[in-house]
Amino acid sequence: MAQFPLAPGSSIGILGGGQLGRMLSQAASRLGFDVVILDPQAESPAGRVSRQQITAPFDDPDALEALGRLSDVVTFEFENVPSAAVDLLAVNGAAVAPGPTALAVAQDRSAEKAFLNAVGAATVDFASIDSADDITAALPRIGLPALLKTRREGYDGKGQAWVRSADEAEAAFEAIGRAPAILEAKADFVRELSIIAARGLEGEIAVYPLGENRHADGILRTTLAPAEVRPDTAARAREIAEAILDGLAYVGVIGVELFELADGTLLVNEIAPRVHNTGHWTQDACLCDQFEQHIRAIAGWPLGSTDAVARVEMTNLLGEDVLDWPALSADPAARLHLYGKGEARPGRKMGHVNRVRGL
């Protein structure tokens, strides 16, 4: 087993070679670590900026064992990692962070909301659903309209269906493929906020200021941070983040999406046990961004400063948005972060731009 804190020159393994893996790898390199990526796509965005890539499916046992052998600690750019994979990663003695509990909780929307409520973080009312009849039975408590989501997988609005009347129960269940599901009450929120926070190996916690998010077609478009919020809202968000991190004995960076209601109440929409799209603003506003923070946490280093020294509007560059690079590159306040992806398919996250303003 490696000794923590990991010395520079140690190896960090990352499951997933997309943009989050790429920015994690770049942060790790700045601290003198070597990085190994596992991804099925040869020369993935992250692989191209890392010492080594193992090109194999995420469930390939040999590849998972090899990644663990080459790494002192292994982490993830996505949450849908089967626990069997985590076990294989650890076969050769590599640490794995965040741990299996956090992954298991985040992989099941029903378990996630139950966990959140248990640690005192409010959510919308919800019910676990295994049949269309379950929907009909739950509706009197959940109310209309209600949102049906698969319990596992699905992101950016995929695997979801609205139930606007009891008649729609069967159609909605069919629409999400009759998979185990969760029925959620509609949140009557005034805006979506998110909070990025980290917990270190010794249990210390660092929390970034809140971001305010705008989505379109279920995909994040912009985050404005630090968001303008009442002091008690900021304090409550920090409490929620701390309760979640401690409740999971978490190590690393977590993203917590919040609904702000008209009366200031915060409900947790979902948690992502990884660096998060709504935390990209930290790259150009904080001395230690979410990517370095995650690397610091999993390497057992002290956490870095989460103070914002600027205000940033982060805008995702989706699909052909990235073709605007000539104009974006000419704006001195626009910090470009491009992911090295070839094909600008509609909706594909190709990069983001952080527009920096004074505080």
Give the residues lining the site for a second copy (CB under 8 A).
5, 7-9, 22, 25-26, 29-34, 43, 48-51, 284, 287-288, 296, 301-302, 304-305, 309-310, 322, 325-326, 329-330, 332-333, 335-340, 342, 351, 356
Residue with the two structure tokens 């506003």 = 285
Q: Which of 73, 78, 64 is nearest to 19 (CA)?
A: 78
Tokens of 225: 């941070």
41 vs 329, beta carbon nearer a second copy: 329
Task: Output the smallest distance, CB 151 to a second copy, in A.
Answer: 36
Contact 38, 56 (CB under 8 A): yes
186 vs 337, beta carbon nearer a second copy: 337
* Ligand-binding site membership of 80 (annotated): no
Task: Output the smallest distance, CB 296 to a second copy, in A.
Answer: 7
* Ligand-binding site membership of 47 (annotated): no
* Ligand-binding site membership of 149 (annotated): yes
* Ligand-binding site membership of 339 (annotated): no
* Ligand-binding site membership of 109 (annotated): yes
* Ligand-binding site membership of 155 (annotated): yes
* Ligand-binding site membership of 157 (annotated): yes
294 vs 335, beta carbon nearer a second copy: 335
| 45 Cβ contact list (under 8 Å, min separation 6) | 17, 18, 19, 21, 22, 339, 340, 341
211 vs 351, beta carbon nearer a second copy: 351
Contact 244, 271 (CB under 8 A): yes
Residue with the two structure tokens 């478009």 = 221
Task: Output the smallest distance, CB 323 to a second copy, in A.
Answer: 9
Q: What is the DSSP string of 225-293?
A: ES----HHHHHHHHHHHHHHHHHTT--EEEEEEEEEETTS-EEEEEEESS--GGGGGGGGTBSS-HHHH
Residue with the two structure tokens 């370095």 = 292
**Which helix (H) or strand (E) covers residue 133, if one does?**
helix 132-142
Task: Output the smallest distance, CB 309 to a second copy, in A.
Answer: 7
Task: Output the smallest distance, CB 102 to a second copy, in A.
Answer: 24
d(CA 323, CA 215): 21
Contact 166, 175 (CB under 8 A): no
182 vs 288, beta carbon nearer a second copy: 288
Task: Output the smallest distance, CB 31 to a second copy, in A.
Answer: 6
5 vs 154, beta carbon nearer a second copy: 5
Binding residues for ATP: 109, 149, 154-160, 192, 215, 269-270
